[in-house]
């Protein structure tokens, strides 16, 4: 089967992007991946506990999975242009502007696939890789890790209050750090958290530092009203403060929701012609590695069977 020759540009090199790229590679369809970092994998390197998409294999953390993806990428020679940060898309001239190793460049496109994903809504100053084994984003499969431990949960939404309540039967003490005195969580969950003797709610506080040696020993928090700082002894920390979309470069012609995620219709089409979006950047997409992989495979097959044939 022969395919039309088109300039296909994929932005991002996470699971969704690589899944689509591998589909195109099997059919020998030329395309380019623009990735701002020096390796593929996207947000996976920031997952310090075991990824929950167990169907794709067992990995102790996202970094281990990233290494496997990198090996796969090198073996099959994915057409990734690393150190290429996209700064804008001009849908009128069909041009992508990007910075490659400090030099401004542009490339013309026939089709664009945006697969830039999202990132944890966390100040990088509050992350220290020395304590990666004591940092959690999800606790479902790791509850025994918290047995008789002092735990800090960061956040004020449903995920934060539910995590704190789930830890009651395991942790010896739970601190719930809330940057205000308002809650994004349901009232019934908030009432249960506030009234439980094992949970200590710290309102108007933000996390500013993690401390310890090879293990996490304490956190330093600051009162946002007074500026006063305080150190609390803990063993584990759970981040539950949501995500931010990597959509800063998206042009206004592409419809996005109130949080900055891209709205799509059938076949992952955006409101701009010949521009698609897959993976975590898609509005209302459930954030799972397996789902992102499915997006990429489905869109790749659509390109092969309908767009390019």
Q: Which of 63-67, 182-186, 241-245 has the lowest mean pLDDT?
A: 63-67
153: its two tokens:
């949960």
pLDDT for residue 120: 75
pTM, two decimals, is 0.78
What percent of the chain is predicted at pLDDT more than 70?
91
Same fold, 8-120+243-307 and 124-239: yes
Estimate to the nearest angstrom the gap between the alpha carbon of 142 and the chain centroid. 20
pLDDT band at 136 (very low <50, low <70, confident <90, very high): confident
Reduced to 3 states (helix: H, G, I; strand: E, B; else coil), residue 155 is: coil
Q: What's the pLDDT band for 84 if we cut at 50, 70, 90?
A: very high
CA-only gyration radius of the chain, Å: 22
Instruction: Please report which confidence band the pLDDT of residue 200 belongs to, taking 50, 70 and 90 as the band edges.
Output: very high
Q: Above 80 in pLDDT, residue 169?
A: yes
Mean pLDDT over the full length of the chain: 89
Mean pLDDT in residue range 99-107:
96
Q: Given a cut of 80, is residue 150 above it in pLDDT?
A: yes
Which of the four pLDDT bands, split at 50, 70 and 90, describes residue 241?
A: confident
DSSP E strands: which ranges in the chain?
Answer: 8-11, 32-34, 80-81, 84-90, 95-100, 103-108, 111-114, 118-120, 135-136, 150-154, 173-177, 199-202, 205-212, 216-223, 229-233, 236-239, 243-245, 275-277
CATH top class, domain 124-239: alpha beta
Query: pLDDT band at residue 302, thresholds of 50, 70 and 90?
Result: very high
pLDDT value, residue 127: 60
| CATH code at 8-120+243-307 | 3.50.50.60
How confident is the model at residue 69, as a pLDDT?
80
Q: What is the pLDDT of residue 129?
A: 66
**With bands split at pLDDT 50, 70 and 90, how would you rate the model's confidence at 54?**
low
Q: Quote the crossing angle between the two packed helices 158-166 and 187-195, to the nearest 10°.
A: 40
Task: Taking residues 149-166, report their average pLDDT.
Answer: 93
Enumerate the domain spans of the chain.
8-120+243-307, 124-239
pLDDT digits (tens, 9 = 90+) for 263-277: 999 999 999 999 999
Mean pLDDT computed over 236-247: 89
pLDDT, position 125: 54
What's the confidence (pLDDT) of residue 124? 57
**Contact status, residue 53 vs residue 289, Cβ threshold 8 Å:** yes
pLDDT value for 181? 86
pLDDT top residue among 121 and 259: 259
pLDDT at 219 over 80: yes
What value, to the nearest 5°, has the Cα angle with vertex 244 and ends 173 and 129?
Answer: 55
Residue 172 and residue 158 in contact, taking contact as beta carbons nearer than 8 Å: no
* Residue 9, pLDDT above cutoff 70: yes
Q: Is 70 exceeded by the pLDDT of residue 244?
A: yes
């Amino acid at each position: 089967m022969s395919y039309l020759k088109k300039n296909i540009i994929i932005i991002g090199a996470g699971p969704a992007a690589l899944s689509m790229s591998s589909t195109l590679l099997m059919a020998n369809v030329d395309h380019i991946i623009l990735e701002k970092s020096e390796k593929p994998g996207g947000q996976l390197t920031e997952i310090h506990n075991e990824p929950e998409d167990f169907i794709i294999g067992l990995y102790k953390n996202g970094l281990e999975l990233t290494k496997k993806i990198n090996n796969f990428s090198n073996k099959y020679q994915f057409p990734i242009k690393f150190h290429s940060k996209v700064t804008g898309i001009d849908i009128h001239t069909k041009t992508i502007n990007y910075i490659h190793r400090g030099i401004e460049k542009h490339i013309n496109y026939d089709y664009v696939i945006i697969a830039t994903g999202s990132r944890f809504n966390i100040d990088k100053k509050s992350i220290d890789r020395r304590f990666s084994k004591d940092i959690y984003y999800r606790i479902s499969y790791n509850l025994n890790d918290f047995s008789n431990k002092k735990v800090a949960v960061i956040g004020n939404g449903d995920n934060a209050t539910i995590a704190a309540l789930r830890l009651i039967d395991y942790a010896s003490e739970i601190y719930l750090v809330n940057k205000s005195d308002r809650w994004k969580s349901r009232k019934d969950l908030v009432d249960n958290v506030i009234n439980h003797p094992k949970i200590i709610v710290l309102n108007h506080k933000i996390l500013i530092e993690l401390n310890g040696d090879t293990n996490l020993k304490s956190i330093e928090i600051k009162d946002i009203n007074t500026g006063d700082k305080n150190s609390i002894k803990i063993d584990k920390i759970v981040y539950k403060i949501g995500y931010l979309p990597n959509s800063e470069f998206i042009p206004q012609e592409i419809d996005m929701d109130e949080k900055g995620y891209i709205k799509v219709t059938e076949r992952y089409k955006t409101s701009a012609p010949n521009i698609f979006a897959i993976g975590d950047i898609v509005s209302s997409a459930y954030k799972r590695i397996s789902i992102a992989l499915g997006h990429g495979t489905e869109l790749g097959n659509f390109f092969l069977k309908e767009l390019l044939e």
